Chains A and B, each alone.
Chain A
Amino acid sequence: MPSLLSQNLPALQVVLPLVAAPLCLFLRLPRLAWLFALAVSGAAFAVSIALIVLVQQNGAFSYDMGGWAAPWGIEYVIDPLDSVMLCLVTGIATLVLMYAGPSVEAEIPRRQIPVFYVLFLLCLTGLLGMVATGDVFNLFVFLEISSLSTYALVAMGRDPRAQTSAYRYLILGSLGATFYVIGIGLLYMMTGTLNMEDLARRIPEVAETRTISVAIAFLAVGLALKLALFPLHKWLPGAYTHAPSVVTAFLAATATKVAIYVLVRIFFTVLGPIEAFQTLPATVSETQLVGVLAILAMMSGSAVAVFQYNLKRLFAYSSIAQVGYMMLGISMVSVTGMTGGLVHMVNHAMMKGTVFMALGAVILRVGSPDIRRLDGVGYRMPVTMAAFVLAAFSLIGVPGTVGFISKLYLVRGAIEGGHWIMVAAVLASSLLAVIYVWRVLEVAYFRSRPAGAAPVREAPLVMLAPMWVLALANVYFGLETTYTVGLTEAAADYILNYVPGEGPTWEHPLFEDPHGHGDGHGTGHGAGHAPEQDAHAPGVDP
């Protein structure tokens, strides 16, 4: 039995929350639904740990869904980067769900609570699927699962403006998803395959065509929308500000990261052999367009954050800047830079997870995330705000916190590459972070409580515990980077030197004429044809 279980772990990782999600509907009691969702995500977290161990032992491996061998069936591939991402997403989901109980009961109407957890688990399913899958169309399906559930989750916010924010997110998010699907459609048209590794093998043959250039452009814009790269970030502040606190914490820590992961996966592995990323700024020759956008994101995000009053909005703008950091590291196209970008992805999840959890607790007790109403909150909710302080320092990049590690690698990558403007931008942006963080701390600690304000209690323990786990993770992984830097460095190395395998030895039925047989294959997920492949024993390929 254990071997059967461990053989099917990649499928279990995604299927478990997918199947569990609708079951929440039957649990009418809010608390029951909460505990059930928590148990499911805990189990998913355990699966992801098992996957990390497996990948550490055996290296990257693939899994054929339903026994259909790739490239005809859908393949799930778990490589070092995937295992880190899966662990990050499920870990954050578990902590956020543990925290969710009291916050959700306070912010969501009682009868909607089971639905909330259904959507939450679906969103989790989508994010996990996007990471685990090795098929670009299957990725789109999961992208839509996570996006659609996210729109609904955002719309559940208490503030009526949540609905306009969700609507804006819906429109822009759908645009992004559509662009992505157009992009992969064009790729499919040229290569006749949707499997990532297979695509990587075939793409060099058709690299010079205009269709591929157009596909790259669509993919780039679509994914940039999803990951909120400046100037396509307009959906993000509203969505983060008005979504329920729990949703904000979860989205800020995972959603944009998974989108960045997808971008890295598509551009460095699927399109890696033709170096699509380096030719991205085709229209602005000789200029690293992505790098420039990343710098603009860092500067504008941080600068706008300085002037915000609503703390959720403030840290939403900060998130836009942080996405800039990640893209900056990736745009250096060097192992150090990529490590910086990827490790910041993990680190930023810890920082922003803590920040938004702390803000959620403040909203629960004080009722508002408006800085003008938080005088002396540092003494009214000392435990919550202490966690906030740790995360805030991490955001600045104080040594001893994860933010410092990210910055160290980003600056090192920039210096090594001779990108002096990038060095200046990273440093300037962290100084802006000092300003916006200090504004909050000054209000929280150096103003006395407004006269006549009702005394508030500290947040309940179930909220404080996960918040502090993440807050301490900020410090722990800031001082001990074997796992974070070690794993992401290996991943960066793997991604930048990616060479697709030889592929199956037998003839692909469509290989002779990749232009003629586009119909049917893309939507069938492999289930519709080529039953003769059954003979090729699927399973775990080391």
Chain B
Amino acid sequence: MIVGLDMMQTIGACLILPALAVLLTLLFGRWPNVREGSTLLVAFALGSMVFSLLGPVLIGARPSLTLWEVIPGVPLAFTVEPLGQIFAMIASLLWIVTTIYSVGYMRGNDEHAQTRFYACFAIAIFSAMGIAYAGNLLTLFLFYELMTISTVPLVAHKGTDEAKRSGRVYLGILMGTSIGLQLVGIIACWILAGSLDFVPGGLLAGKVEGWPVLLLLALFVFGIGKAAVMPFHRWLPAAMVAPTPVSALLHAVAVVKAGVFTVVKVVVYVFGLDLLNGTAGTEWIAAFAGFTILAASFVALRQDNLKRRLAYSTISQLSYVVLAALILAPLSVMGAALHIMAHAFGKITLFFAAGSIYTAAHKTEISQLDGIGWKMPVTMGAFAIGALAMIGVPPTAGFVSKWFMLSGAYEAQAWAAIAVIFASTVLNAAYFLPIVHRAFATKPAPVDPEHDHGEAPTPIVVALAFTALGSLFLFFVPDSFLALAEQLVGGRP
């Protein structure tokens, strides 16, 4: 371990560091350079801590840190397991990139209340780490709700009536589903199993069967509102009113991935694949995810606002993960875990590009993007790579995850799921490729030279180039993620 910490202390550090970033941000609020410099420093430290846990997890260690019992039998506990490690690695790595990006974006757009912004951002990352490493449902729920609360100020950041209205929708749906459905599911598990620990093979295995399993599964899949399964998806388009770094890291990575991560985690560690395979009717819940994939894609087709189109694309992509997990084949569950990674890199690139366009050209609608590719070649090049990753074309990471999902579905003979994935691939292409085409192949509308623009500020360009390359890199070298996903389902299927 680095700097002489043992594994328990490293887990502790992974939680303390983002909390420290919150403090430093508030403390140095008056000096923007110190504030952002310290955030960046902490982000790097966090990244190295998280990655130092990768080795032990790959050789089968499951380091854990148990603090104290909150309620009898249910402690505040953290355990590093493969799926959580995937999520933590993505979140911490992309936090570094986003911090660099934010500096360019927030200053380039002269945003107000930047200290509040950075502080809430760091709290959201803190909760993401807590969710990733949570050792039981209670700990997970604690950080899940903290994440909701800390991101509402980011959504309502602008303080306009529209922003506040969006904040209300966001809070209402996320809190409503988590308190109204998920909490009931958690308490039911507590009563049924007497504990809330994540157990390989399933906490509820052998403790309940038949329709109550189905009911519980529904409580979780719909109660985890962050996974945005229809009809609880409206908060995500509403959240697009936030500044772009928020949409990029939180609403393409941390928050939404926390949602699908929780779904996968609950399916694997609370129910267990065997229990769900032995329960009739799970395909009905999977059908909701399948419907969401298609319906959100159709809505995305009709959006002219770039960020809203990306948001509906995210809704659709999140349901890939839910659907893949609910196919209940080990290969498809691997696909779900890998898609968390693949979508993260692809979608953050797309959002970074959208923010880059907004900063440099002040354009938000797709119809305004004629010929912008030649003025902002790096931005739009990265956008093209991100789009390919969303469609799932080699050589991008999106192909890897889709491959696993499809092989899992084939193995489970889930023909409907295969049909949905193919149809949506076509739809993905239909709503992403025209943007790329418009950017590079159409003539730009004439502008007067005073309003002409080039590339966005350097921090922005560096950040989006990095994530785009990451998307390509992970196609060629997905080894560690692949190994983690294999461990999640207990060895290569």
Residues of A within 8 A of B (CB): 393, 396-400, 405, 407-408, 411-412, 415-416, 423, 427-428, 430-431, 434-435, 438, 442, 445-448, 479-482, 485
Contacts and interface: CB of A to CB of B under 8 A. Distances in A.
A393 B72 CA distance: 23
Given A431-B175, A447-B159, A448-B159, A416 B145 contact: no
Given A399-B141, A427-B179, A431-B179, A446 B190 contact: no
B360 interface: no
B77 interface: no
Q: With a 10 A CB-CB cut-off, give which of A400, A416, A434 has the most chain B CB atoms.
A: A400
Interface string B371-410: 0000000000000000000000000000000000000000
Given A411-B183, A431-B176, A447-B159, A398 B145 contact: yes
B76 interface: yes
Contacts of A396: 175, 179
Interface in B62-94: 68-72, 76
A399 B168 CA distance: 20
Contacts of A416: 191
A430 B182 CA distance: 14
A542 to B, nearest CB: 27
Contact of B149 (A393, A427, A431, A482): A393
Given A412-B190, A416-B191, A434-B171, A400 B142 contact: yes
B187 interface: yes
A438 B159 contact: no
B172 A434 contact: yes
A400 B149 CA distance: 12
Contact of B191 (A412, A445, A480): A412
Nearest to B156: A446
B179 A430 contact: yes
Q: How large is the interface on B (under 10, 10 to 19, 20 to 34, 35 or more residues)?
A: 20 to 34
B16 interface: no
A353 B402 CA distance: 54
Given A405-B71, A412-B191, A427-B184, A445 B153 contact: yes
B167 A431 contact: no
A427 B156 CA distance: 25
Given A415-B188, A485-B71, 18 more contacts: A393-B149, A398-B146, A399-B146, A411-B187, A412-B190, A412-B191, A415-B191, A427-B179, A438-B168, A442-B156, A442-B168, A445-B153, A446-B156, A446-B163, A447-B159, A479-B76, A481-B70, A485-B72
A485 B184 CA distance: 20
B210 interface: no
Contacts of B149: 393, 398
A184 B180 CA distance: 43
A481 B153 CA distance: 30
A485 B69 CA distance: 12
Q: With a 10 A CB-CB cut-off, give which of A396, A411, A423, A485 has the most chain B CB atoms.
A: A411
28 contacts: A393-B149, A396-B175, A398-B145, A399-B145, A399-B146, A400-B146, A408-B187, A412-B187, A412-B191, A415-B191, A428-B180, A431-B175, A431-B176, A434-B171, A434-B175, A434-B179, A438-B171, A442-B164, A445-B153, A446-B156, A446-B159, A446-B163, A446-B167, A448-B159, A479-B70, A479-B76, A481-B70, A485-B71
Interface string B132-173: 000000100110011001000100100100011001100110
Q: With a 10 A CB-CB cut-off, give which of B142, B145, B187, B188 has the most chain A CB atoms.
A: B187
A487 to B, nearest CB: 13
Nearest to A482: B69
A480 B179 contact: no
Interface string B180-197: 100110011011000000
State the 3 A-B residue pairs at the shortest beta-carbon distance, nearest first: A399-B142, A427-B180, A411-B187
Contacts of A411: 183-184, 187
A397 B71 contact: no
Nearest to B144: A399
B17 to A, nearest CB: 19
Contacts of A415: 184, 187-188, 191
A467 to B, nearest CB: 20
Nearest to B168: A438
B191 A427 contact: no
B322 to A, nearest CB: 23
Contact of A399 (B138, B163, B167, B180): B138
Interface string B22-58: 0000000000000000000000000000000000000
A479 B71 CA distance: 8
A381 B68 CA distance: 34
A430 B172 CA distance: 12
Q: With a 10 A CB-CB cut-off, give which of B138, B156, B179 has the most chain A CB atoms.
A: B179
Contacts of A442: 156, 164, 167-168
B178 to A, nearest CB: 9
Nearest to B138: A399
B164 A446 contact: yes
A480 B171 contact: no
Interface in B257-293: none
Given A481-B70, A481-B71, A485-B71, A397 B179 contact: yes
A197 B59 CA distance: 65
Nearest to A478: B70
A480 B72 CA distance: 10
Contacts of A412: 187, 190-191
A319 to B, nearest CB: 20
B71 A408 contact: yes
Nearest to B157: A446
A70 B156 CA distance: 64
A426 to B, nearest CB: 9
Nearest to B71: A481
Nearest to A424: B180
A263 to B, nearest CB: 26
Nearest to A481: B71
A364 to B, nearest CB: 25
Contacts of A407: 183
Interface in B405-455: none
Contacts of B146: 398-400
Nearest to A397: B179
Contacts of A393: 149
A164 B482 CA distance: 72
Contacts of B191: 412, 415-416
Contacts of B175: 396, 431, 434
Contacts of B156: 442, 446
A448 B112 CA distance: 12
Nearest to A428: B180
Contacts of A405: 70-71
A97 B72 CA distance: 34
A336 B1 CA distance: 45
